[in-house]
Amino acid sequence: MYFMITLATGAKYELVRQAEKCRSTGSAFVAAVLEAVDRQLPLAPRSSKMIEGWRGDPAAAAVAMRVNGALHALARRGQPRYLADLYNGEHDDFDGAIAEALAQEDQFIADWMRYPTQTNEVARGAAVMAALMAVAKQRPTPFQILELGSSCGLNLNLDRYAYQLGAVAAGDVSSPVRIAPVWRGADPPVADVSIESAQGVDLSPLSALDPSHRERLLSFTWADQPARSQRLEAALQIAVAHPPQVHRGDARLWLAQRLAERQPEGVCRAVVHTMFIQYLSDRERQSVAKMMAAAGAGATADRPLVEIGLEWTPDRREVQLRCTRWPDGDTTILAICHPYGEWVEWRGFPDATA
């Protein structure tokens, strides 16, 4: 029998806070896993020490989701067996299964937590596609996509997916990746999105061609949401056939280099990021903002620049889809979104036309 143990540190609050967030966004299973981890974490001294001594904001670093990913990875491997049985729905002894896993696999969990979460949720591409459509409606030019924090680069293939955005169909209607978020508000404008090129950057990019990288991504999906895993697997197969161009490096340095390159005339350069800004320090955020403003100052009607970001607000109250367009430099909140793309509340540009 495992006794309920509590960890009286800031990390304890983060595990409980994230559990509440998971339950409110539709994952009771992950919430129960994190609550069990909160009670049993002292059984994993290495992992517990790492969390207790975490430098920086544990919420911004998604520490709780790193732990959840490690446990899901273990369950997918079938060990410990009692943990795998929990994930397979064969029992609901969360404390027993989590306690055993923490005690037996402490080193694995601690090693796993050294690396950031890598969700690369393709459902977020629906909001990005809608934003591109809104821009293309008013300025119908091809896009040159520059993505920050690309992970495996799955959203660099966003034009290879099928979307249902309210009453509007978009993308490749024959695609095995079908994304249909619950749509609130008006439909997005109908416009063709042509992508001339797409490339991204990540500090530790993953490759769809590497089985271990595919498994890592799948482990960060939520175990009680199989549709997300199935959609991810389909997107990974597309990435195997059409490998995204993801560079390894610091996003700020890479972006500075890309923005310094001459932009083709008649092409809209689009800097895109989803759930990326939260991992930057305040100084790094300001650096990116200044870089974009400087590039925007040189934008013209023939060489426009847009920034599309799907990010938490600083108080983590909501996820906003924001778009800044240059040469004007106007910023618009196009939509409020579910963190993983399950729903989109569309607002659009204030000057949008039908």
User: What average pLDDT does this structure show over 120-127?
Assistant: 95
* Cis upstream peptide for 80 (omega within 30°): yes
Asked if the structure places residue 106 within a domain, the reply is yes
- Do 218 and 132 share a domain, yes or no? yes
Q: Are 207 and 315 part of one and the same domain?
A: yes
Distances (CA, A) of 143 to 88, 192, 304, 308: 43, 11, 10, 12
Over residues 263-275, the pLDDT tens digits come to 999 999 999 999 9
Q: Is residue 4 part of a domain?
A: no
Helix H or strand E segment including 174: none
Distances (CA, A) of 56 to 61, 151, 313: 8, 22, 18
Residue 115 has pLDDT above 60, yes or no: yes
**pLDDT at position 353, please?**
53
Q: Which range of residues forms the domain containing residue 77?
A: 12-114
What would the pLDDT profile of 284-334 be if each residue is shown by its tens digit?
999 999 999 999 999 999 999 999 999 999 888 999 999 999 999 999 999
Judge whether 5 lies within some domain: no
pLDDT at 6 over 80: no
Q: Examine residue 279 and state whether it is found in any structural domain, yes or no.
A: yes
Q: CA dist 161 to 133, 219, 280, Å?
A: 14, 22, 29
Residues 229 and 268 in one domain: yes
3-class DSSP assignment, residue 344: strand
pLDDT at 96 over 70: yes
Looking at the fold, whether 107 and 131 belong to one and the same domain comes out as: no
Last residue of a domain, one of 114, 142, 167: 114
Residue 250 covered by a domain = yes
7 pLDDT above the threshold of 60: no
Instruction: Give the count of domains, the chain.
Output: 2
In a domain, 229, yes or no: yes
* pLDDT confidence of residue 52: 87
Kindly state whether residues 210 and 181 are assigned to the same domain.
Answer: yes
- For residue 1, the model assigns a pLDDT of 37
Are 109 and 158 found together in one domain?
no
Domain end marker among 62, 97, 114: 114
Q: Do 170 and 273 sit in the same domain of this protein?
A: yes
What's 176's DSSP letter?
Answer: S
pTM to 2 decimals?
0.83
CA distance 22 to 35: 11
Across-strand partners of 202? Answer: 248
**283: how many CB neighbours lie within 10 A of its CB?**
7
Residue 212 and residue 141 share a domain: yes
Q: Virtual CA dihedral for 94, 96, 99, 100, nearest 10 degrees? A: -120
Domain boundary (92, 114, 136) is at 114
Cα diameter, the chain = 69
Tell whether 6 is covered by a domain. no
Residues 205 and 267 in one domain: yes
CA distance 78 to 89: 13
**pLDDT band at 352, cuts 50/70/90?**
low
Check whether residue 74 and residue 178 sit in a common domain: no
Does residue 21 form part of some domain? yes
Q: In this structure, are 210 and 321 located in the same domain?
A: yes
**153 and 79, same structural domain?**
no
pLDDT: is 31 or 9 the higher one?
31
Q: Per-residue pLDDT for 354 more than 50? A: no
- The identity of residue 162, as a single letter, is A
State the chain's mean pLDDT as an integer: 93
